[in-house]
């Protein structure tokens, strides 16, 4: 089945490279000072999950389509976008009530209004009101959970301003629209969400400071206030060679109706080198714990991108989490007649922040390419459990087209 989907995806990619589609998606002039920009994104994915527990292995083939458009006149823009997810093969638990005896694939069937926003922007500054996508920095604290078929968005008012090298970003949101879909009791989490971020791009170094205040109406255990800062930079040391480094620190404590008072810290530090298409980096990330009672949480983040693709640690254990990781990547684009290939691999070693217990280890690998307008991706994650979770293997094969 996996080979079948790869062949179909490649064939569709070749079919979409005709000259007739070369201009598809370009804004269409509707008057002298107004345009309409159509939007379409289609993603087909096969996902399998095998776990060392009594539930049956999951096999899912899902198709996601986003469609809409943006009308612009001057600095004013109105954007509307719908989103639908269909299960073509549905042997999986969808996080709601479908096939409970199977492993989880968090992509329930769904039709929803994904975004509806009115914005005014000029020279990088402006205001956006409505249901919108928000991604701050590397999405470690606030993101759109873009890996899942149903996107996370926010009902919010967001202001952005550029002042020299500074970028100021302030959001007040009343609802977090989750990936779980309109049929789920967790379709949304309402509350008062204040997201403040200040960034400075100094070319060689990028700096960021942030304050994220999350006061949920019902999800009280995740109500928190977080204050932190991050820095990243790249230093060229020779032709095609650069040294890269990044560091982040944050403190978090309870807020609002959270029944558990706590204080926890977050650390992340990594360093690497890039040489002629090859990259290697190592890092350490810690989501601290307050005595094993409560731990540092990031409920608005794009969690799949961190702490392993097997998604064992979407919620930080009460003992906290230490993640030691090393990753390597290679981009191959020099072979005439073949599409560029991107290969990546990462190893994680997980342990508790309190007590230092071994949680487990994970190995992730991915291969991506693009044929015409179609992006192809294969991913595999293998988690070997020690004291947290169970042995888990996940495999994905995906094709995506958008304009």
pLDDT in tens, 23-33: 556 889 888 89
Q: What is the pLDDT of residue 375?
A: 95
In whole angstroms, what is the distance from residue 60 CA to residue 398 CA?
12
**CA separation for the pair 79, 122 (Å, rounded):** 16
Report in angstroms the alpha-carbon separations of 3 from 8, 46, 373, 388: 9, 11, 20, 33
Q: What is the Cα–Cα distance from 148 to 396, expressed in whole angstroms?
A: 12
Give the Cα separation of 336 and 342 in Å (integer): 16
pLDDT at site 20: 39
Q: Is the pLDDT of residue 361 over 80?
A: yes
> Measured in Å, how far apart are the chain's first and last C-alpha atoms?
28
Answer whether 289's CB lies under 8 Å from 319's CB: yes
- State yes or no: pLDDT of 262 exceeds 90: yes
pLDDT (0 to 100) of residue 91: 96
What's the DSSP call for residue 12?
A: H
For residue 81, is pLDDT > 60?
A: yes
| Poorest-pLDDT segment among 30-44, 208-222, 334-348 | 334-348
β-bridge partners, 117: 79, 130
What is the count of structural domains for the chain? Answer: 1
| The total number of residues written for the chain in this structure | 403
CA distance linking residue 393 with residue 384, whole number of Å: 9
Given a cut of 70, whether residue 171 has pLDDT beyond it is: yes
* pTM, 2 dp: 0.90
Residue 186, pLDDT score: 96
Q: 162 in the Ramachandran plot: left (φ > 0), alpha (ψ -120 to 50) or beta?
A: beta
Give 272-329 pLDDT, tens digit per residue.
999 988 999 999 999 999 999 999 999 999 999 999 999 999 999 999 999 999 999 9
Q: What is the CATH number of the domain that holds 129?
A: 2.40.160.10
Q: What pLDDT shows up at residue 240?
A: 85
| DSSP reduced 3-state for 334 | coil
Q: Give 16-72 pLDDT, tens digit per residue.
A: 333 333 355 688 988 889 999 999 999 999 999 999 999 999 999 999 999 999 999
* pLDDT higher than 60, residue 348: yes
Residue 8's pLDDT band (boundaries 50, 70, 90)?
very low
Which pLDDT value is given to residue 30? 86
CA 321 to chain centre: 19
Residue that has been written with the tokens 């640690």 in this structure: 313
- The pLDDT of 124-153, averaged and rounded, is 97
pLDDT (0 to 100) of residue 337: 67
Residue span of the structural domain in which 222 resides = 2-402
pLDDT score recorded for residue 21: 38
Residue 221 is predicted with a pLDDT of 97
Please give the C-alpha separations between residue 345 and each of 59, 169, 224, 290, in angstroms, as whole numbers: 24, 33, 33, 33
- Cα-Cα-Cα-Cα torsion 145, 147, 148, 154, nearest 10 degrees, comes to 20
């Amino acid at each position: 089945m996996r080979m079948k989907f790869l062949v179909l995806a490649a064939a569709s990619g070749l079919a979409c490279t005709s000259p007739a589609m070369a201009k598809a998606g370009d804004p269409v002039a509707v008057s002298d000072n107004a345009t309409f920009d159509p939007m379409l994104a289609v993603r087909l994915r096969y996902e399998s999950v095998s776990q060392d527990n009594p539930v049956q292995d999951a096999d899912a083939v899902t198709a996601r389509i986003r469609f809409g458009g943006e009308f612009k006149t001057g600095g004013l823009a109105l954007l509307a976008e719908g989103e639908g997810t269909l299960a073509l093969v549905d042997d999986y638990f969808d996080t709601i009530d479908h096939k409970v005896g199977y492993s989880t694939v968090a992509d329930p069937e769904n039709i929803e209004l994904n975004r509806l926003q009115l914005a005014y922007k000029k020279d990088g500054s402006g205001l956006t009101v409505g249901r919108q996508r928000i991604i701050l920095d590397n999405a470690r604290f606030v993101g759109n959970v873009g890996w899942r078929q149903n996107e996370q968005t926010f009902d919010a008012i967001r202001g952005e301003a550029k002042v020299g090298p500074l970028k100021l970003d302030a959001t007040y949101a009343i609802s977090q629209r989750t990936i779980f879909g309109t049929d789920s009791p967790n379709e949304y989490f309402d509350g008062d969400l204040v997201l403040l971020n200040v960034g400075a791009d100094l070319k060689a170094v990028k700096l960021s400071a942030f304050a994220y205040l999350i006061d949920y109406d019902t999800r009280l255990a995740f109500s928190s206030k977080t204050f932190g800062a991050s820095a990243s930079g790249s230093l060229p040391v020779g032709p095609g060679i650069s040294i890269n480094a990044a560091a982040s620190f944050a403190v978090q404590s309870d807020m609002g109706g959270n029944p558990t008072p706590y204080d926890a810290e977050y650390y992340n530090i990594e360093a690497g080198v890039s040489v002629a298409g090859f990259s290697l980096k190592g890092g350490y990330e810690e989501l601290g714990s307050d005595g094993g009672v409560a731990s540092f949480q990031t409920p608005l983040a794009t969690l799949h991108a961190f702490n392993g693709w097997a998604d064992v640690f979407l919620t930080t254990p009460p003992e906290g989490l230490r993640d030691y990781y090393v990753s390597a990547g290679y981009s191959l684009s020099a072979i005439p007649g073949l599409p560029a290939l991107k290969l990546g691999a990462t190893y994680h070693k997980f342990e508790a922040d309190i007590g230092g217990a071994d949680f487990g280890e994970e190995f992730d690998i991915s291969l991506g390419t693009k044929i015409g307008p179609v992006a192809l991706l294969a991913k595999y994650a293998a988690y070997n459990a020690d004291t947290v979770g169970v042995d888990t293997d996940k495999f994905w094969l995906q094709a995506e087209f958008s304009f």
